[in-house]
Each structure stands twice: as structure tokens, then as C-alpha cells.
Amino acid sequence: MDIVHITSEFTGLAKVGGLADMVRGLVLAQKKSLKKLSVILPFYTFLSFSKLTQVAPSIWKTDYMNVTIYLAKTPTHLKQVYGENALSDFLHFCDATHLFLKQISPSIIHLHDWPTALLTLYPKCAPMVFTIHNAAYQGECPVKLLKKRSIAPQTYQKAKNLKNNTVNLLAAAIENADYITTVSPTYLNEIQSAPKKQKNLLTKTIQKHSHKAKGILNGIDTDYWNPYTDPFLITPPRKEDGAVSFQDMLKIKKMHKTQLFSQFKLHDPSRFFLVCITRLAKQKSPKTIELGLHYIDQCNATAFLLGLPTEEKYQSHFSYLSTMWSQSNNIHICLKQEEKLAHQLFAAADALFVPSKEEPCGLTQMIAMRYGTIPIVRDVGGLKDSVTDQKNGFSFHTDQASLHAIDRALQIFTKNPEGWHTLQKNALETDFSWKEQNQLYTHIYQWLSLEKPESSLLRGPLPNSS
Ligand code: ADP
């Protein structure tokens, strides 16, 4: 089988959030079992490679981590991943990619999120799997831009918003793709069973196509997120079997906690240390994050927020909080995206706070567990599917309960070290590798690639979410 992934993000080349981590993690896992595998990304202007070969009018080929990467150049010169003209940028990206797909003719095309949705509307050259990483971003495209590309109207008719003559690209992709996946089973249930008031075009479309949809919990790249080989940490030698030993984890944590506390002038590294590593966007519930910081301050524990504001209102409000706490030894706020600091915080922290209102999968809770850091999460989406209360983390539902959950963690940490160590051991033992998930995706690819009518019996029922 020859699989091609088409994506706007890939960790190490272009990353905004979890989409980048997911595609890289899945691709590296698939590389072990698939002979032909490639990735198509936009040729962002910030990317540079020593070896590049032009293979089609707008396509260049390179190699990254032993994976073939195709880079599609667009007339709009993409300077950042989601810039001001994201819609037009990604429509151009899809145009260039579509022509190239005809040339390479893969057996399966795996698309990721709305920036690649247009590809489902062009005449298909292979079965298409479409993964929804975040249904909050849907891509609203004026009909005239589809007409300009001579896209057949029947492909987008059902995804049309008549009020402003636009097409919801995500809904159109759900209509046209051969198979849909979401990044966790609970998230698929949540979008399918939205209450009546919140029913919109997207929820209705996914409900209608539930027979070809499955929720598959993401894994993480356990080689990249590995306390033994993490290039941003001071680490002991790797254990032969690859598992993270509890004793080594404790050593790594102690060393990095002490170092961070001294670097940021935080008080007493023996105290409970909660971190939050996130984009500051509505979905992540900045209000609850703030509540948590105040609560930690009151409890005389320590917290660190590494947050990238996505809107001006969050930038200004959290800048204000940062100034307010600038002399504090309890709370530190750092408003940026910084990979190295994120790794050091995952390693140094005792707990990670993830109060997202919506979380399609969420990766930080899984990453945290690899470093023996206990997640405290709202029980939604993939957070619900990966964290079990009092086993490998803590979960809550309401904002008020979030403070109670922090308190429950704090009490165990301070009064019951053995209980805390059990939580850490359970977290280290939870398997978030791509092994099982990779098999599920392979099953879907195999099912779709048996395309001849006479093989429909062989196909059996669609691998659906049951
Ligand atoms: P989302 O994709 O919605 O932003 P996820 O939890 O799925 O959230 O993935 C977040 C990824 O981005 C993780 O790898 C996390 O470490 C990283 N990340 C989030 N915020 C920051 C930040 N401020 N600095 C560095 N890395 C960050």
C-alpha cells in the first residue's frame, strides 16, 4: 500500500499544535510497516533543506527522518502556518497538491483538517480518509472560489450556507471523504450528540455519516517524548527495554525542578508544582486556568503557565496577570511558544492542569504522563479517554470541581507520598504509543483499498465506531 498524508503541520517542520505531533507520530509509526509512505506539506517560506529536487511544476521533494516529504509551492508564498489569508493559501495548496496526486497515484490519501478539505471535492484518484483534529475550525469558503476551480456543485451542495453563499469546507469533506476519523472516541460522540440548540450544519452532517466514522484516540511519538533521550533535558542513560524506570523519572524530575525553580526564582522545590502548557484560546478555558493559578497561589504551592495567546484579549489579560505576579515566588507566567521550556516543564512538574471546555484529543496529558507528571483534566473528549480519576490522574467536570481536583492532588502529594508514587507509576505504565492505533488505521486503509465491486464481500462491514 502506498499512503500519502496531506497536512498543514508536521512537528519539526511546521507546528502550531497537536495536529503536527499527531501526523508525525502516526507517520513514524506507519513507516515501520509500510513500504511506501509520504507526506505533502505547503512549502512555507521558513522551511529550508540542503537537498531538494523538483518533481513537478510546483512540487519539491526532500527527506526528513527517513520519510519522503513533498513540498507544494503556492503563488501566495506562505510565511506562516495560519496567516491572515489562510483560506486562499490552503485552496492554492490543495490545487497544487491535486495535480501532483494524479501524477503519483497513491493507494490511499489521508487528509488532515479543513486546510486539506478542498481535495475531497476534486475528482478522486484514490480513496480518501479524512481526520478531524478540531471541528472548531471549519473553513468557510465563498462559492465563487469553488466555481472558479470548476468544482462540481453536487460535491458541496449539502455543505452550503445559503445566507452568505459560502461552503463549510469541513462539512463538505465529511460528505465526500470515503472514511472519517476523529482523534478520540468521546469527541466523535460529542460532535454527533450535540444538544438540539447547538445542532448546526457540521453536527448534522457528521450524524448523517456516522456509518463511515470512527473515533481513534491519538498516540504520541514515544521516541520524541522520551525522558531518556529528550534533547532538552539532562538525562540518565536509556534503559534497554525502552520503558521509563520510576527511579530514573524521580531523579530527572528532581534535577529539573530544582533548576527551573532557581532559574525563575520560585519558592521551595519541595512544594507541589502545577504547570499548564497550552495555547490560550477559548476552547482551552483561560478563565479556569486563571482560577487554578489563583487557587495555587492561595494554597502556597507553585504554578507555571506557558501559554501562547491566540487572541488580543487573552494577550492583554494574561500580560496583566503576569505583571501582577511578577514579584511572586509562587506563580510564573510566560506568554510564548517555546519547545525547550515545554519539555523542561513536563519533566519538572508534579501535575499538569488541562481544564479545556472542548478537547478533541489533547496531547499534553499523555506527554505529561511519560514524565511522571500527573494530569488534572476536565472529563471531555480525549481527556476523558486517556485519564482515569485517581488512577493515572484526576478529572473533574465543573469549574468549581476543578479547584477540588487540584486540592485532591495537592493533599495526596503532601500527605501521602506513597499514594502519589502509585499515581506516577500508573501514569508511566499507561501506553500511549501508536502501536494499537496504527493497526486501526491500517485496517481502515486495507478496507478502503479493496475497491473492486467483486471484493465487496471480502470487505465486510465498514470498520465503524462500534
Ligand atoms: P492543541 O493542538 O489544541 O493546541 P494539544 O494538547 O493537542 O493541543 O497539543 C499541544 C501541543 O503543543 C503539545 O505538543 C504541547 O506541548 C505544545 N504546546 C502547547 N502550547 C505550547 C507552548 N506555549 N509552548 C510550547 N509548546 C506548546
For ligand 1, the distance from its centroid to the CA atom of residue 289, given in whole angstroms, is 15
Q: Give the model's confidence band at 422: pLDDT under 50 very low, under 70 low, under 90 confident, else very high.
A: very high
Report whether residue 277 contacts ligand 1, using a CB cutoff of 6 Å: yes
Per-residue pLDDT at 455: 47
> Other C-beta atoms within 10 Å of 48: how many?
8
Answer whether residue 199 shows pLDDT above 80: no
Provide the pLDDT for residue 337.
Answer: 92
Tell me if 337 sits within 8 A of 345, measured CB to CB.
Answer: no
In the block, residue with C-alpha cell 488505521: 441
Distance, CA of 304 to CA of 331 (rounded, Å): 6
Cell numbers 478563565 correspond to 287
Q: Name the residue of 134, 364, 365 whose CB sits within 8 Å of the most ligand 1 atoms, as the mutation to test its pocket.
A: 364
pLDDT of residue 305: 98
What is the predicted pLDDT for the residue at 195?
72
Closest CA to 218 of 179, 170, 181, 180: 181
Given a cut of 60, whether residue 393 has pLDDT beyond it is yes
- Grade residue 221 by pLDDT with cuts at 50, 70 and 90: confident
Residue, of 237 and 106, whose pLDDT is higher: 106
pTM value is 0.92
Is ligand 1 within 6 A of the CB of residue 278? yes
Query: Which of 177-191, 230-244, 265-279, 340-354 shows the lowest per-residue confidence on average (mean pLDDT)?
Result: 230-244
Q: Atom of ligand 1 at shortest distance to CA of 339? A: 25
Is a pLDDT exceeding 80 seen at residue 462? no
Rounded Cα distance between 411 and 30, Å, is: 42
Pick the atom of ligand 1 nearest to 308's CA: 23
How many residues appear in the chain?
466
> 21: CA distance to ligand 1 center in Å?
9
In this prediction, residues 72-95 reach a mean pLDDT of 95
Mean pLDDT of 46-66: 96
The answer to whether residues 180 and 213 touch, using CB atoms and an 8 Å cutoff, is: yes
For the segment 46-65, the average pLDDT, to the nearest whole number, is 96
Q: Report the share of the chain in percent with pLDDT over 70.
A: 94
Q: Looking at residue 460, what is its pLDDT?
A: 56
CA distance 117 to 458: 29
User: What's the pLDDT score for residue 240?
Assistant: 59
Q: Report the DSSP pairing between strands 166-168 and 140-142.
A: antiparallel
